[in-house]
Structure 1
Amino acid sequence: MAEAMAAPRKKRTLILVGLLIVLLAVASSVAVYFYLDARNGSGATDVVEDEAVEPPVPIFVTIQPFTVNLQSDYGDRLLYVGLSLRVDDEQTSAFLNQHMPEVRSRLLMLLSGKSAEELIKPEGKTLMKQQILGLFDDPITTPQPALSIDDVLFSDFIVQ
């Protein structure tokens, strides 16, 4: 008799556990749906805001390639270099193009004091970039507008 009463109770417990699992699955599905729907709604406004902001167009001042004699204990060494300056505004670009002979002269003076051994190494190139940027700390003319030069980019670089 005890077995007869245990069977319906066991059956009822299994049905309750099954219903509980189905209920949890439905509840979690609904929660995930609303969570993803809310996240997609806020993400759509972020995308619209991101698309409205356009990055600034880079401005480059190209310096024609030139050849420089390098200091060396082993004979004649040459550096053939072409570079560009990335600037922030048209005023700086126009000023540098107008005073290009002075810019090239300063670059030639700086680079002719370099040795081939230091320019071959990546650290030497990085140091040279910093020194080229430092060339523009001294005014080219007086008065001179504020120059905003961001970076030095090499287009040609051959040490012979």
Structure 2
Amino acid sequence: MAKDAKPADDGADAPPKKSKKLLIIIIVLVLLLLVGGGAAAFLLMGSNHDEELDEDEVAEETVKKPAKKKDNALPPTFVNLDPFTVNLVPEVGDQYLQVALSLELDTPESQAQLALLMPRIRNNVTLLLSSKKASELQPKEGKEKLATEIMDEINGGINPPTKNKRGELVPSEGPVVSVLFTSFIIQ
């Protein structure tokens, strides 16, 4: 009987070994599921975070336009405008400004768009020029500032500025790259 008792003891030891292996396998599987679930949640939350941008960032991104690629092989396109003659804001008597402009455009196709809107453009530039004083326009910096303002005014007439989420006007980019003075006379 002693021999029969030993196998019974061996049988009692064997089931705990199987349960330990089974327990280890279950723990490993649970850990793998947790790690996999955590990785999936991280990936889903990460892609969701990219979509939920700040309101200002969304507004700025919608206003921005892709940068126009300038083909260096094409010569620049220039358009001459008829001369402008306006009364300046009086400082010491009546003063007049006569100015002739050339506009550099980004593409040759922009010339047609500019021609269609010429009455609006001439109106905006005339209003801008007549709001200036002779003393503002005398120095070189004044003329450079005026050229920038004319460019913004023309581009704004073609592509009106838009408002961002804060209500601020965002200037639009237009076809005019630069404004060149071909004649500038103050009397």
TM-score between both structures, scaled by the size of structure 2: 0.52
Q: How many residues align?
A: 106
Which residue of structure 2 lines up, in the alignment, with residue 81 of structure 1? 99
Give the superposed CA RMSD.
2.3
Distance 1:130 1:56 in 2: 24
CA shift, 1:98, in A, is: 1.6
Is the contact made by 1:61 and 1:97 (CA closer than 8 Å) also made in structure 2?
Answer: no
Mapping for residues 89-128 of structure 1, pairs under 5 Å: 89-128=107-146
Q: Secondary structure at the match of 2:109?
A: helix
Distance change in 2, residues 1:138/1:66 (3 Å): closer
Distance 2:148 2:90 in 1: 22
Q: Which has the higher helix share?
A: 1
Report the structure number with the largest CA radius of gyration.
2
Percentage of matched positions with identical amino acids: 38
Q: Which runs of 5+ in 1 are unaligned?
A: 1-52
Distance change in 2, residues 1:65/1:82 (3 Å): same
CA shift, 1:95, in A, is: 0.7
Moved over 4 A (4+): none
The one-character-per-residue Cα deviations of 1:20-54 (angstroms, maximum 9, x if unpaired) are xxxxxxxxxxxxxxxxxxxxxxxxxxxxxxxxx97
TM-score between both structures, scaled by the size of structure 1: 0.60
Q: Which runs of 5+ in 2 are unaligned?
A: 1-70, 161-172
Distance 1:114 1:83 in 2: 17
Which residue of structure 2 lines up, in the alignment, with residue 158 of structure 1? 185
